[in-house]
Structure 1
Amino acid sequence: MYCGSCAAAVESLLKRQPGVLDAAVNFAAGTALLRWDTSQTGIAALAQVVHRLGYRLQDAPPSANSQGVDLARKKLQWRLAAAVVFGMWCMMPALLVYLAPLGLVEPEATWPLALASGVFALPVITYSGAHFYHAGWRTLRMGVPGLDTLITFAVVAATLLSAWRLSQGESHVYFDAAVMLITFQLIARLLDTNVRRRATDIIHRYLGQSNSSPVTLDDGSCRQIPADQATPGMHILPEAGQPLCLDGQIGAGEALIDFALITGESQPVPVRPGDRVYAGCVVIEGCPKIQVTAGVGQRRIDGITRAIHQLLCRKTSLQRLTDRIARVLLPTVVVAALASVVLAWFQGTAPGESLARGLAVLIISCPCALSLAIPLVIMMGYARLATRGILLQDPAAFELAADIEVVVFDKTGTLTTDRPAIAACHPQPGWTPQALLQLAINTLQGSSHPTARGLALEGAPSLPEDMGTRTAIPGQGTLWRLAEHRVLAGRSRWLAQQGVSLPELADTGMSLHLAFDGQYAGRIDFQERLNPEAAGLIEQLKARGIAIYMLSGDTRRSSLALAKRLNIPPARVISEASPEQKLRVVENLQNHYPTAFIGDGLNDGLALASARIGIAINTAPEAAQSAAAVQLTGGLGTVASTLDFARQARRLMRQNLVWAIAYNGLALPLAVAGWVQPVIAAVAMSLSSLCVLGNSLRIHHGDQTPINTSEPGQTRSESRIPQPELAQDHHRRAPSGKRRLNQVECYKAGEQ
């Protein structure tokens, strides 16, 4: 699809079909979300109906969708190149015709010059503007005419009127006006296509998550088959370090599973026979056998995918406003053009001049400035943000981010890193902290456990992995044998089971206990390592009056400990939340104030897509980044500047939109009254576009300081942000009639 009018036509057609309950066509994402009664229609019948309109419904992989968008861009580029080259040659003789009254051109030479202008305009009119005519005719047939229909009317009227004047021996033609109209519209269309290019794969990336990765069957043959061929009841053997492709249940063996992508838990969880695992989880240690409980299409990740699909088929307020203006503008302009022709006839104006007055109305009211108002700011803002490591996937991100008053952070991987930090060493007599630390590093050498990764950051030298033998017991610890020595590193309960006598010491929950030759050597306490930019960012957001929440799948104790370090109130800490519960929390917050969600995991996909603006940090997996409107490749610290920049960009978009509407409101009466000739109309139309362009360029010279949206002498107070209420008050209604966020939903939504 080339424009919003195309999407409106397809959506209108689908909604009219018998059996279709609802249809939403999203131009930016290139998707149609359909709901129909299977007893009355089917996807094949709907595809046939859409085909008659000139489009195709296809369930295509991401690569095919991307290829289609790239092909559309290339076609636009070739059309624009032809318009620019032949348009320059068209303008040269037309300019000489305009200068003829000044005596610079002989009168008898004006007709050949006008003819030459028409000849050079033909490639532009027939080739460069062809897709405007196709789209204009399609949308007119469906009763939802838009910008393309108006462009088609203006170009056809200018061409026919110019051809008629040439046949009458007159040199006053309007080929140059048609050329300018097509060229400016192609520029606007190409800018819009370039921006939307990144949005076309958002849904399809999620749909393709782990669909075709091979799985190893546990049927005696150890053969591999694609994941989408596995059925419930089969037994598979996962590979350590690789994400699971299917939902299942541990049938035999024990393992240490990283659930971070699904639940957000910071620590790997030991699983035993009977425990459930999900696609996207990673086996850290152990060789379990898994019985498949859900195949591709029925997995938990597929449910999340379908929800994201629906959430992304939305339109923003400025998009809806532009659509409404476009729908009203066409009939208004056509009626005004006809009225100007009739008025001229009644005033005794010659037929040629009367038609020229109607043409002037069509051209001067052509919505070049309106179509450039939004995409220009988005394109230029995108280029500026990209240099700061900020990538926009949704063109509406500027508009959405400008109103943010609540920022919700995921904990694990967003506010923290994947490697814990050492909080304290507690050596036993005879051991020093340095010796205890070195013993731990040597014992866990080569392990993929997060504790081992945290020890590796200490920079102490380690022994080669092949020195001695190391045996990892999933969920318990590691046994290292070196010559006659025996070292244990792991949970206190496991050491006790091995016959080690432990003193009475408080356990923080993130502790590594060590024993050397059966004697307890000491304990190393760990804490989650803060993202270096997290504390500074939270203070910056608070200074802007933005309320901060933490939303995590991790334990309550771990979440509160981190919140205390970041000065986040306990009442705004939501823990032990599943992806679906994260979605409900974000939606509840948005019932009151515009909310941004910042996350990094696959389990954050629903929240990223449902928030007013989803921001994925650079460590997020590809699928999670696809669900977000904004990707931060330059680090977490750029969030505050992104919100500031969004306010500036939205202000420029609104200014452009107001200017475009005001221009048409002023120009239309002047053209109807006959005070504007078609050539002047084309110039005025071009100048209006240049005004929008000039205003949009201000985004490159914006103030680097935060934008203050408060009244002079006032600051925004986050006291207006709703607080989680007590559990016993959760039936109380807010004044607006919407449910307020309550503690039951925040902390234990599953129990409710």
Structure 2
Amino acid sequence: MAANTGSTAQQEQNQDILMIEGMRCGSCAIAVEALLKKQPGVRDAAVNFAADVAMIRWDTEKPRLASLQQAVARLGYRLHASVDPDRSKLQAETVRKHLQRRLAVAVVFGMWSMMPALLIYLAPLGAAEPEVLWPLALASGLFAAPVVLYSGSHFYRVGWRTLLAGAPGLDSLIFLAVFAACIISAWQLAAGSHHVYFDAAVMLITFQLVARLLDTSVRRRASEIIRRYLQDVPEQVTLKTPDGQLETRPLKDVEAGQHILLRAGEQLALDGEVICGHGQADLSMLTGEHMPQALGPGAELLAGCQLVEGGLELEVTAGVGQRRIDRLSRSISALLSRKTTLQRLTDRIARVLLPVIVIAASLAVGLALAQGAPAPEAAARGLAVMIISCPCALSLAIPLVITMGHANMVNHGIVLRDPAALEAAAGVGAIVFDKTGTLTTGEPAVNSITPAGNWSKSTLLKLAQDILRESSHPVARGLMAEPVRSSVPASEGIRESVAGAGTRWLNGKDTALAGQARWLREQGVAVPPTEDTGMSVHLACNGHYAGKIGFQETLRPESAPTIRQLVRQGYTIYLLSGDTRTACLELATRLGIAPEHVLSGYSPEQKQSFIENLEKQTNAVFVGDGLNDGLALAGARLGIAVGNAASATGAAAAVYLTESIARVPATLQLAQRARKLMYQNLFWAVSYNALVIPLAIMGWVQPVIAAIAMSLSSLCVLLNSLRMQSQVSGGTQAPS
């Protein structure tokens, strides 16, 4: 285990996350990735278009950033040393608006270009006289000009860049096909012929813009993950200067070694060590522990934690960029740069198709010339091959499945955030649940009331509520939710909170205490022998022990039925939490989860490491809620965030359930259905090319027919994707 940990640490030291600005599609990412892999000192590189990030690895010496920036700049992109979520968000919005404008131009002018082309096709039926055919062909070309020159310009730039980088893909093929269609059409017009193919070029560009817009709308979410992660902490802190003055400072102006103050109810924005003061802090956002932890001098506190009671002075141990929450964000960026099986498969298909299609087009031209066909006809045959085999259906295969099912899934409380992760649903063997906030509400409820002496259950409960009325402790909130049968109004009195111990209530001549048994004994109260578990409150009045109230975590009503259903379906259930072993085992017993599948006291990094190790044995799903789950949700092959998930968690997960974990079984079935349809679409797209390319080589398919056939292949993918929508519309459970 130690060796494995050391190896992992070494890998983390020899990798870095960089941001790439200027990418507009997956082909851009392919070109940048291929270029980075060729740079001296770079052992491996992975670029993710959706996250705008590049992860580079090296063996011994880190490559110079300036050299990498120069190399990437040659392709027209910019490389940054750190990930800027705001810049990434702005870039995503800019790309979306550019695509919308280009698609609008393509649709408007494309329709006008198709109208004269349609008259030319129907001329043998008497739709147009022979003398107007050439003007109609010219009109088709003029209307196609804005589409070709403006709407398709991005494809040409990216296609050229990917060719230069030695990683040609779909954009390179589009570039070649549109260029060939326009050159041949211009040649035909110059020769006085009306046989032009501007409409084929227009259809090619329009279909690809639709595919890019769909792909962008469902996948560009990673900048929101990191931005929300960092927004979950305040942007300013209260700084204590060396002369004792208090100042409000922005985070970026505070450095390690300086002192800051944290008051009750405030959230810590920087990592620090407690110098003086006592208090109780809610660590659930980062650790998952449901009960606040007592803090004193020497204790370490991380950004994102909230002080429930007391007041602290801390020495900053990590500034902005070095905090634990910053490291978690960078880890998520690294995880998002990974490519799934479907992404790698699609990339491989696109890389293989390009040389195959170019060779097939050249073969068609050569065969036509060998058969004595004139040069324009031979060129048209080669163009037909390029158009009919252009893998538009391939680029639509994945986003269409998600888009068609998305609206109905939202209506059923299921929000898909990352379609690429859905392939993990097939063959899932284990489901790992977080505890606090996922299976439980995060707030304890009264479990038992044990009065002592002359006290009754109702009077003891009323005493506890009077003492803790103003407390923000989770136990106090659970206590206030308990109904009281007394008609006596609440007494105000004076309350003194002792952080990490209890509360003293002074009401006239009466003095009442509520807190830990140890603290009550220190106040002179004779408390019977008991164990302080943090889930009970002991009470005393005027120096006499009054009894205790026990608490347990409030189980969500849907938790037990959902766990039982998943077990019946054959899944292995794990409970993974940052909470104590006692609390986790108690909950597992109530849910019927085996003790050997209960893992407690895990940090966010340990959770993600456990998920990775588990997936070496079986496909696993992680279901969580809370900031401390973000790393595991992003790292899991299929991450599901539920209920009132923290904003960062909801974005990091591949699937977000707006209601509860009761939707987990249906989500898995829907995801399996989506994955099946994705593979069917990919199979159809590849099979289509294998079928039509030989026909086009033989000259049996004209360019216009090729454009129509290309559209029909995309239509078949669309109709198959519609099955995703029909499966969901019938109910919350998708059939297998």
TM-score (normalizing by structure 1)? 0.90
Instruction: Specify which of 263, 270, 276 is matched with residue 300 of structure 2.
Output: 276
Does the alignment pair 1:689 with 2:714?
Answer: yes
Instruction: Specify which of 483, 488, 492 is matched with residue 508 of structure 2.
Output: 483
The answer for the alignment partner of 1:3 in structure 2 is: 25
| Cα pair 2:188 2:195 within 8 Å, conserved | yes
Q: Which amino acid aligns with 1:2?
A: R
Deviation at 1:559, TM superposition (A): 0.8
Give per-residue Cα distances to partners, 1:253-302, cap 9 Å, x unaligned.
21112221222111111122222222222211111222222333333333
Instruction: Specify which of 125, 130, 138 is matched with residue 115 of structure 1.
Output: 138
Matched residues in 1 for 2:639 and 2:487: separation? 41
Q: Does the C-alpha gap of structure 1 residues 217 and 628 become closer, same or farther in structure 2, counting only changes over 3 Å?
A: farther
Matched residues in 1 for 2:575 and 2:487: separation? 37
| Cα pair 1:260 1:281 within 8 Å, conserved | yes
Instruction: Specify which of 9, 13, 20 is matched with residue 35 of structure 2.
Output: 13
Q: Which amino acid aligns with 2:177?
A: A
Instruction: Specify which of 267, 282, 285 is matched with residue 258 of structure 1.
Output: 282
Matched residues in 2 for 1:465 and 1:536: separation? 39
Partner of 1:585, secondary structure, is helix
The answer for the alignment partner of 1:606 in structure 2 is: 631
Matched residues in 1 for 2:503 and 2:207: separation? 68
Q: Does the C-alpha gap of structure 1 residues 600 and 583 become closer, same or farther in structure 2, counting only changes over 3 Å?
A: same
The answer for the alignment partner of 1:518 in structure 2 is: 543
Does the alignment pair 1:658 with 2:683?
Answer: yes
| Cα pair 2:727 2:734 within 8 Å, conserved | no
The answer for the alignment partner of 1:643 in structure 2 is: 668
Q: Which amino acid aligns with 2:369?
A: W
| Cα pair 2:234 2:268 within 8 Å, conserved | no
The answer for the alignment partner of 1:531 in structure 2 is: 556
Does the alignment pair 1:374 with 2:409?
Answer: no
Give per-residue Cα distances to partners, 1:222-279, cap 9 Å, x unaligned.
1122233333332221122222122222222211122212221111111222222222
The answer for the alignment partner of 1:311 in structure 2 is: 335
Instruction: Specify which of 591, 597, 606 is matched with residue 566 of structure 1.
Output: 591
Matched residues in 1 for 2:487 and 2:366: separation? 92
The answer for the alignment partner of 2:446 in structure 1 is: 422
The answer for the alignment partner of 2:204 in structure 1 is: 181
Matched residues in 1 for 2:295 and 2:415: separation? 38
Does the alignment pair 1:352 with 2:376?
Answer: yes
The answer for the alignment partner of 2:69 in structure 1 is: 47
Partner of 1:143, secondary structure, is coil
Give per-residue Cα distances to partners, 1:710-751, cap 9 Å, x unaligned.
xxxxxxxxxxxxxxxxxxxxxxxxxxxxxxxxxxxxxxxxxx
Deviation at 1:36, TM superposition (A): 5.6
| Cα pair 2:53 2:83 within 8 Å, conserved | no
Q: Which amino acid aligns with 2:479?
A: L
Matched residues in 1 for 2:61 and 2:451: separation? 73
Partner of 1:93, secondary structure, is helix
Aligned residues: 709
After alignment, is 499-508 or 489-498 more displaced? Answer: 499-508
Matched residues in 1 for 2:428 and 2:240: separation? 49
| Cα pair 1:438 1:462 within 8 Å, conserved | no
Partner of 1:419, secondary structure, is strand
The answer for the alignment partner of 1:471 in structure 2 is: 496
Matched residues in 2 for 1:596 and 1:641: separation? 14
After alignment, is 540-549 or 42-51 more displaced? Answer: 42-51
Deviation at 1:60, TM superposition (A): 5.5
The answer for the alignment partner of 2:17 in structure 1 is: none
| Cα pair 1:617 1:636 within 8 Å, conserved | yes
Matched residues in 1 for 2:433 and 2:127: separation? 70
Q: Where do 5+ consecutive residues of structure 2 fail to align?
A: 1-22
The answer for the alignment partner of 2:519 in structure 1 is: 494
Does the alignment pair 1:214 with 2:233?
Answer: no
After alignment, is 183-192 or 497-506 more displaced? Answer: 497-506
| Cα pair 2:156 2:175 within 8 Å, conserved | yes
Give per-residue Cα distances to partners, 1:366-420, cap 9 Å, x unaligned.
1111110111112223333222232233231222233322111111222111211
Instruction: Specify which of 280, 303, 322 is matched with residue 298 of structure 1.
Output: 322
After alignment, is 82-91 or 360-369 more displaced? Answer: 82-91
After alignment, is 212-221 or 436-445 more displaced? Answer: 212-221
Partner of 2:570, secondary structure, is coil
Does the alignment pair 1:141 with 2:164?
Answer: yes
The answer for the alignment partner of 2:126 in structure 1 is: 103
Instruction: Specify which of 23, 41, 44 is matched with residue 45 of structure 2.
Output: 23
Matched residues in 2 for 1:224 and 1:506: separation? 43
| Cα pair 1:615 1:629 within 8 Å, conserved | yes
| Cα pair 2:666 2:734 within 8 Å, conserved | no
RMSD: 2.1
Identical columns (%): 57
The answer for the alignment partner of 1:582 in structure 2 is: 607
Q: Does the C-alpha gap of structure 1 residues 254 and 576 become closer, same or farther in structure 2, counting only changes over 3 Å?
A: same
After alignment, is 451-460 or 625-634 more displaced? Answer: 625-634
After alignment, is 269-278 or 309-318 more displaced? Answer: 269-278
Deviation at 1:535, TM superposition (A): 1.2
Does the alignment pair 1:343 with 2:367?
Answer: yes
| Cα pair 1:199 1:393 within 8 Å, conserved | no
| Cα pair 2:441 2:556 within 8 Å, conserved | yes
Q: Does the C-alpha gap of structure 1 residues 617 and 217 become closer, same or farther in structure 2, counting only changes over 3 Å?
A: farther
Matched residues in 2 for 1:33 and 1:212: separation? 28
Deviation at 1:652, TM superposition (A): 0.7
Deviation at 1:622, TM superposition (A): 2.4
Give per-residue Cα distances to partners, 1:71-117, cap 9 Å, x unaligned.
11111111111111111111111111111112232111211111111
Counterpart mapping for 1:662-681 below 5 A: 662-681=687-706
| Cα pair 2:276 2:297 within 8 Å, conserved | yes
| Cα pair 1:136 1:149 within 8 Å, conserved | yes
Counterpart mapping for 1:552-563 below 5 A: 552-563=577-588
Q: Which amino acid aligns with 2:32?
A: V
Q: Where do 5+ consecutive residues of structure 1 fail to align?
A: 710-752
Q: Does the C-alpha gap of structure 1 residues 349 and 441 become closer, same or farther in structure 2, counting only changes over 3 Å?
A: same
Deviation at 1:144, TM superposition (A): 0.7
Matched residues in 2 for 1:151 and 1:435: separation? 80
Matched residues in 2 for 1:499 and 1:450: separation? 26
Deviation at 1:504, TM superposition (A): 4.7
Does the alignment pair 1:156 with 2:179?
Answer: yes
Instruction: Specify which of 630, 634, 641 is matched with residue 659 of structure 2.
Output: 634
Matched residues in 1 for 2:488 and 2:403: separation? 53
Q: Which amino acid aligns with 1:395?
A: P
Q: Which amino acid aligns with 1:701?
A: S
After alignment, is 673-682 or 60-69 more displaced? Answer: 60-69
The answer for the alignment partner of 1:362 in structure 2 is: 386
Q: Does the C-alpha gap of structure 1 residues 512 and 40 become closer, same or farther in structure 2, counting only changes over 3 Å?
A: closer
After alignment, is 314-323 or 178-187 more displaced? Answer: 178-187
Q: Which amino acid aligns with 1:590?
A: E
After alignment, is 641-650 or 393-402 more displaced? Answer: 393-402
Q: Does the C-alpha gap of structure 1 residues 264 and 315 become closer, same or farther in structure 2, counting only changes over 3 Å?
A: same
Matched residues in 2 for 1:631 and 1:590: separation? 21
| Cα pair 2:466 2:491 within 8 Å, conserved | no
Give per-residue Cα distances to partners, 1:30-70, cap 9 Å, x unaligned.
11123468978532332232122111123463222111111
Q: Which amino acid aligns with 1:544?
A: Q
Give per-residue Cα distances to partners, 1:652-681, cap 9 Å, x unaligned.
111111100010000100000111111111
The answer for the alignment partner of 1:34 in structure 2 is: 56
Matched residues in 2 for 1:212 and 1:49: separation? 36
The answer for the alignment partner of 1:70 in structure 2 is: 93
